[in-house]
Structure 1
């Protein structure tokens, strides 16, 4: 968000711009994730990225939920910058102790769309399942 303010200095006026950084509190959860493990169920965790100036920056990672196809994660705080043109990318990963973690799916949304939706959206994953993002 950009805030403009007018400052008077000895009979002259100047217009200044200040960028206000925004943090939002989010609760993330997933529903009906596909089971990608051969033994047990998926051990999902999420990576949340924020897009700023065309680059994706890792903002936070959730805890791993063992054998859970419908996880709900602890609240997190995410710095979305000025919010203008910012976007969120949420990736669902399956933690594997014996090999490489596996990408289950990902979804993206703009911060402005998220806020216009009242801070509560559910996103479908291409391979099945959904991610719910709620602003606290």
Structure 2
């Protein structure tokens, strides 16, 4: 449990963007599909109000298809913060870590699950 993500930061959306709103279960979480603060867009099932390109209000976002097609997850929200260089996460042992945006994507995904049973050195993130 020491090297497993328990919780982490998300950026609360503005206007009608629901990301980060705890009252809507699908928006109060994040996945490890994309790296932290990825420039790739989050995929939402609805209410994806992205202001003008380059606006700091909301992270990039697209409306997902709602259909699973193999590797595609119809809704996915990345871990995001307004910090430079990464996000804060809470690990399974209760410790708080700063995860760099540059983390290897496979390590990031491995941190998000116990299923693989990997032992991941804290030097990797």
TM-score by length of 1: 0.26
Highest RCO, 1 vs 2 (Cα 8 Å, sep ≥ 6): 2
Larger Rg: 1
